[in-house]
């Protein structure tokens, strides 16, 4: 008897809600439904205390000094927008120059576009074929007008880990703010905002088995003290940086998800690396020419982005989609194919961008599931051109 189908291998897109996280959230969806800003009665006190605890957990999980460094948001997209546009507008008198990377998530690239529309200047660093930036290029790009450098800790498509400690040391030496979109990294690899000299850090609950619609932004309070122009006004919540009634159940879920991920990070990373390497070895044993996109070692434990040369990707996806949930390296519709900007950055020719698949392995995946995926891929009609030929007997 095989594994239960379909098999979910798209954990970089989102993760299932852990039952233990849901159990922690449930009281705040029912009896303890108070508004955390309503501090005149017990219902509000209970909600306020739950939010406070989640702040402290969040701060502790990223090495922050205290919960006062944490601003709760609706997710990493809002956190990225607040970090980038909030800092750019706040420090516009110092300079109007931002630096980012071509392989960033759209939640970083689009706020940078918005800043250019406001008259700002943005430098977008390229990457090598492994997806890594050149630190010398970053150093040369920083000018007296630069106020912020934004480089993601782990790439959402190819899983590549950027050298954030080196980047943080460089930005600190230049007196420039450092923001990292750590959505894919937090809870999966160690992150320490002080050790890496991170001034702003974005994260989201639904990437670590928490609820959708809950996220946070770390904002450094001293050495240096970072200020941000808010994106929305009304009520002065979250130290005036993010007005709006707090999503108490979501925030509680974020805290619970972070706590669980931090407690099991080391052993879970080892398990995910084993499953990832098992998948890669199995696929390569049955198919020729398969390549890994991004750095082969400097990557997230559960990410494997594979290039299948010469393969019609839409045929492969149609063949396996009922059994296996994966993400392609190209966000395509039948009307207008749009190659992945990340894979195009690795290889501008475009072949890799149109024939790659991302396998996102997560907490609830098993060895049995990985073995089933290997079998389905190596037997897929769409991959027949890559199938290894049996060695003839002599």
Please report, in angstroms and rounded to a whole number, the separation of the first and last CA atoms in the chain: 37
Q: Any idea which residue has 């609830």 for tokens?
A: 364
Question: Is 61 a catalytic site residue?
Answer: no
Question: Which SS3 state, helix, strand or coil, does residue 60 take?
Answer: helix
Q: What is the DSSP letter of 246?
A: -
Length of the chain: 394
Q: Determine the number of helices (DSSP H) and then strands (DSSP E) in the chain.
A: 11, 15
Identify the bridge partners of residue 99 per DSSP, sorted by sequence position. 123, 149
Contacts of 372 (CB under 8 A, 6+ apart): 2, 3, 7, 323
Residue in 29, 114, 332, 387 annotated catalytic: 332
Tokens of 136: 């010398």
Quickly count: other Cβ atoms within 10 Å of residue 87's Cβ. Answer: 24
Question: Which SS3 state, helix, strand or coil, does residue 369 take?
Answer: helix
Question: Which SS3 state, helix, strand or coil, does residue 228 take?
Answer: coil
Q: Any idea which residue has 């990292």 for tokens?
A: 180
Q: What is the DSSP letter of 335?
A: S
Cβ(35)–Cβ(47) below 8 Å: yes
By the 10 Å C-beta count (0-12 exposed, 13-18 middle, 19+ buried), 124 is classed as: middle
Q: Would you name the residues annotated as active-site residues?
A: 332
């Amino acid at each position: 008897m095989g594994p239960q189908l379909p098999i979910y291998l798209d954990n970089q897109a989102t993760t299932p809600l852990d039952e233990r996280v849901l159990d922690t959230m449930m009281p705040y969806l029912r009896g303890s439904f108070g508004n955390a800003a309503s501090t005149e009665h017990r219902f509000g006190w209970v909600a306020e205390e739950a939010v406070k605890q989640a702040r402290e957990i969040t701060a502790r999980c990223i090495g922050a000094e205290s919960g006062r460094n944490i601003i709760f948001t609706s997710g990493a997209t809002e956190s990225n927008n607040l970090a980038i546009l909030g800092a750019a507008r706040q420090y516009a008198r110092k300079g109007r120059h931002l630096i980012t990377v071509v392989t960033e998530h759209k939640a970083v690239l689009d706020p940078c576009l918005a800043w250019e529309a406001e008259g700002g200047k943005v430098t977008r660093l390229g990457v090598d074929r492994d997806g890594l930036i050149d630190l010398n290029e970053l150093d040369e790009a920083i000018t007296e007008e630069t106020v912020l450098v934004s480089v993601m800790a782990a790439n959402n498509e190819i899983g590549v880990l950027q050298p954030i400690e080196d980047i943080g040391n460089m930005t600190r030496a230049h007196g420039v703010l450092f923001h990292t979109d750590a959505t894919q990294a937090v809870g999966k690899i160690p992150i320490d905002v002080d050790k890496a000299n991170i001034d702003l850090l974005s994260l989201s609950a639904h990437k670590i088995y928490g609820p959708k619609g809950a996220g946070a932004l770390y904002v450094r309070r001293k050495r240096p003290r970072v200020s941000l122009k808010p994106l929305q006004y009304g009520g002065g919540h979250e130290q005036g940086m993010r007005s709006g009634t707090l999503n108490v159940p979501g925030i509680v879920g974020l805290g619970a998800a972070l706590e669980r991920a931090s407690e099991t990070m080391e052993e879970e990373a080892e398990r995910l690396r084993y499953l990832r390497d098992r998948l890669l070895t199995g696929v390569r044993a049955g198919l020729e020419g398969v390549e890994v996109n991004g750095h082969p070692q400097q990557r997230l434990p559960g990410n494997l982005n594979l290039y299948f040369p010469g393969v019609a990707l839409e045929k492969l996806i149609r063949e396996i989609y009922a059994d296996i949930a994966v993400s392609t390296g190209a966000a395509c519709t039948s009307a207008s194919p749009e190659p992945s900007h990340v894979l195009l950055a690795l290889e501008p020719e475009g072949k890799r961008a149109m024939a790659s698949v991302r396998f996102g392995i997560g907490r609830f995946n098993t060895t049995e599931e990985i073995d089933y995926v290997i079998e389905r891929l190596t037997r897929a009609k769409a991959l027949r051109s890559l199938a290894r030929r049996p060695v003839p007997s002599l």
